[in-house]
Amino acid sequence: MAELRIPSVQHLARNWRNDPTTIAQALIKLALSPPRFNYNPLYSAARDMLVLDVPYDQVVEGIRRIKREKVRENLLGVLPLIRDHFAGVAPDFYQTVDKRYYPVGRGLMVPFEPPMIYGIGGQLYFPWFSFWRQNPLANERLSLFVTLVDEILMQDPDLENARFEILDFSCPGPKTGRCLRVINARDISRIDDTRKAQMLEKFADGYFRALTELAGSSPPPDGDRPDDRNADPDQPGLFD
C-alpha cells in the first residue's frame, strides 16, 4: 500500500480543488509516485549567507557537491535570487520556528513549519519560500494559504505582528528562467469563514477518500516504483 502522508498547509492549498474526488485523485497520484527531492539545502544556504556571513562562492561550492546533476543545477538556478534578495540584510536576530498544526476537520491536522524568522530594528520578518517552478499558488488557492497562515500566526503573540512575505521563485513564462517575486501577504485577499469552512471540508473529504482507496490498492510492482533518477527536481516534496 502506498503511503498517504498528511500534506502541509502550503500543499493543502496547492492541491485544493472544488471537487473532493479531484482532490483525492491528486493525492493518490502523489502517494503512488512521490517526488524524491526537496529544497532543504537552500534554506541552509539562506541561513549561512544571512546569519553566518558565509561567502557566496563557498555556499555555491557546497551545492555543487550534490551528486545528482539535475537537482544540483535546479538549486543553483535559485541560489543567486536568494543571494540578491538578502544582500545587505543584517538581522538583529534569526531563529527557526517550531512546527504547528492547523485543524482541517474530521481529526485531520496539517503541519505548518516556517523555515525562519528574523528581526531588524524591532520589525519581525517571516519569509515563506515558494520554490515551484511552474503554477505557483494563485487566486483562491493563494488566498486560502494566506488565510490559514494568518490564523496560525495570530495564535502566537510572538508572531502576530510579523511581516509575512511570500518569496515566489517561479518562472514567469514557459520559456523563461526563474525570477523572484516578493508578495506582501497584506495585499492578498482573505477567505471569509463560510467559504473557508467549505474549502476545508472538501479537502478533508478528498483526503479521506484517497486514504480509503489506497488502503484497498495493491503496491506497484518493483519496476514501477519511483526512484531518484526519475524524480522531478522541479517539484518540491509534498511534505517539505
Cα–Cα distances (Å) from 213 to 16, 21, 23, 107, 123, in that order, read 18, 11, 13, 19, 47
Please compute the mean of the pLDDT values over residues 210-229 and round it to a whole number.
63
Give the chain's domain count.
1
Structure confidence by residue, pLDDT tens digits, 45-73: 999 999 899 999 999 999 999 999 989 99
Residue with cell 484517497: 210
**Residue 99 domain-assigned (yes or no):** yes
The average confidence (pLDDT) of the chain is 88
Structural domain of 17 = 9-224
CA distance 162 to 119: 9
How does pLDDT run across 150-201, given as a tens digit for each residue? 999 998 888 888 999 999 999 988 888 999 999 999 999 999 999 999 999 9
Are 48 and 41 in contact by the 8 Å Cβ rule? The answer is no
Is 174 a domain residue? yes
In a domain, 239, yes or no: no
Is residue 225 pLDDT above 80, yes or no?
no
**Poorest-confidence range of 44-48, 176-180, 204-208, 213-217?**
213-217
pLDDT level of residue 238 (50, 70, 90 thresholds): very low
Query: 111-129, pLDDT tens digit by residue?
Result: 998 889 999 999 999 999 9
Whole-number pLDDT of residue 219: 53
Residue 229, in any domain of the structure: no
Domain assignment present for residue 79? The answer is yes
**Which CATH number characterizes residue 198's domain?**
3.90.320
Residue 234 covered by a domain: no
Q: Say if 28 falls within a structural domain.
A: yes
Q: What is the mean pLDDT of residues 20-48?
A: 91
Output the CA–CA distances (angstroms, integers) from residue 108 to 7, 146, 170, in the order listed.
10, 19, 30
Report if pTM > 0.75: yes
| Domain annotation covers residue 41 | yes
